[in-house]
Amino acid sequence: MIESIKLRKSVRTYLKKPLSKALEDTVKKILIEAENKKGPFGNQARFFYYSTNKEFDDEAKKIGTYGFVKNAPSFFGGVIKNTFSGIIDFGYLFEHIILELTKHELGTVWLGGTFSRAAFAHKVNENEVIPAISPVGYPLEKLSLMEKAIRMTIKADRRKPIEELFFVNDFNHPIDENHPYIKYLELVQLGPSASNKQPWRMVVEDKKIHLYLQRTPKYAESIPFVMQALDMGIAICHFEAGLIENHMKYMVTNLFMSNIDDKEYIISFILE
């Protein structure tokens, strides 16, 4: 997983080619595995997959990705209960899928905003939502002009420095780059986030690591759920992947800590 975290990049331009039968089966298997898992808050999601049957542009127009994503041969998405913790869990489960697909050298991109939710309305029941979908296909190495423009606008290759994101004991003490947990925190820093806003903040307190959300004011207000809660799930997924690969023993648990100024407490890791 760590390798996938390091390799993953949003892919918005695909080779004009359907997925092979074998890879299509792999994608479906990964989605079923994710459906059988729960997020850190105990929610489960349903996932769906479909291929665009070579009518790339027609499909893209139908689901509102035309102009943002080019030549995607297939898409997948998911449905979950529309609560704050449901959305965090979706972020966690969906990022697992993205990283598994990255292992198979497939391209993906989280789409939380630039698709038409109405086109998928038939898939959701009351109190449910589709927080995101993603295309899946063979990445085209050469970026389209549109993709280059998107990446430049959102400064997609940039991440905030660790001292703005991670702290020791309280938010007044930025972490030192030699801290033993830096290697896990850096995996969070590499994560994708909506519009690359990077709202994750983490505080290390001895063997406890607390995750907070620093919301971007007025961000994605027209979206019917808290978009940046997805970023929290992604952070949990990445941090945990680091612990697992380093054979660390840990618990993920809600310690119901207080919010601190504009930082909203989400969840904690407790290491053994």
Ligand X SMILES: Cc1cc2nc3c(=O)[nH]c(=O)nc-3n(C[C@H](O)[C@H](O)[C@H](O)COP(=O)(O)O)c2cc1C
Residue numbers of the site for ligand X (CB under 6 A)?
9-10, 68, 109-114, 132, 150, 154, 156, 192-196, 227, 230-231, 234
Cβ-based nearer residue to ligand X, 60 or 227: 227
Q: Least distance in Å: CB of 206 to ligand X?
A: 30
Q: Least distance in Å: CB of 147 to ligand X?
A: 9
Q: Least distance in Å: CB of 220 to ligand X?
A: 9
3-state DSSP: the chain helix, strand, coil percent, rounded to 5?
Answer: 35, 20, 40
Cβ-based nearer residue to ligand X, 124 or 154: 154
Cβ-based nearer residue to ligand X, 179 or 197: 197
Q: Least distance in Å: CB of 44 to ligand X?
A: 19
Q: Least distance in Å: CB of 237 to ligand X?
A: 11
Cβ-based nearer residue to ligand X, 63 or 150: 150
Q: For residue 46, what is the enclosing H or E element?
A: strand 46-51
Cβ-based nearer residue to ligand X, 136 or 204: 136
The two three-digit tokens of residue 114, written as one number: 């630039």
Written as one string, the DSSP assignment of 82-98 is -SHHHHHHHHHHHHHHH
The two three-digit tokens of residue 109, written as one number: 């991109």
Cβ-based nearer residue to ligand X, 110 or 120: 110
Q: Least distance in Å: CB of 136 to ligand X?
A: 14
Q: Least distance in Å: CB of 182 to ligand X?
A: 19
Locate tokens 């995996």: which residue? Answer: 187
Cβ-based nearer residue to ligand X, 71 or 193: 193
